[in-house]
Amino acid sequence: MTLSQGDALTTHNFGLQIDGVMVEHLHGVGELGMEQDVIEYSQVTENGLPIIKKMPGVKKAGETTLTRGANQSKEFDEWIETSLRGDMASARKNASIIYMDYQFNPVKRKHLRNAWCSKVVDPPVTAGEAAIMTQTVTIVYEELVTE
């Protein structure tokens, strides 16, 4: 079943696929977006009036962060290690953030083209603290496509 008219997606039903393999146990996904430079230039008309024009410039690559519970996701761990080793031929993969409805049916996808991990951070740990251990992974990508 898909969303009914007027329903909106919720932020707690999502998943991550890397080259078609689902990554389990994600805690959160940061903002996704792309950016483009803006070129501004001025001209003078034949009447001597100044005009300002704006036009699109170079696209910039995107970046997001994933937070996950420290667990044993073998495929994801291998992808992180391959990326941090600098093996870009193997590390660049297509990833997708999948947004699901309340019955966990995929409704929308954000495809990250040529994505790889640029940073991984383990949290500080404190004796006597009752909290889950999470890991933050920064993923860079060259293109963002919405389906």
| Within-domain flag for 7 | no
Render pLDDT for 3-54 as a digit per residue (tens, 0 to 9).
Answer: 677 777 677 788 889 988 888 678 889 999 999 999 999 999 999 999 999 9
| CATH code (residue 137) | 2.30.110.20
Render pLDDT for 56-97 as a digit per residue (tens, 0 to 9).
Answer: 999 999 999 999 887 767 888 899 999 999 999 999 999 999
Count the domains in the chain: 1
Phi-psi region of 31 (alpha: psi -120 to 50; beta: other; left: phi over 0): beta
Report CA torsion sign: 92, 97, 103, 107.
Answer: negative
| Within-domain flag for 4 | no
CA atoms of 31 and 98, how far apart (whole Å): 14
| Within-domain flag for 46 | yes
Beta bridge partners of residue 109, listed in sequence order: 98
Give the single-character DSSP code of 122: P
| Within-domain flag for 129 | yes
pTM of this structure? 0.80
For residue 139, the enclosing domain spans: 14-146
What pLDDT is recorded for position 3?
66
Render pLDDT for 89-128 as a digit per residue (tens, 0 to 9).
Answer: 999 999 999 988 888 888 889 999 999 999 999 888 889 9
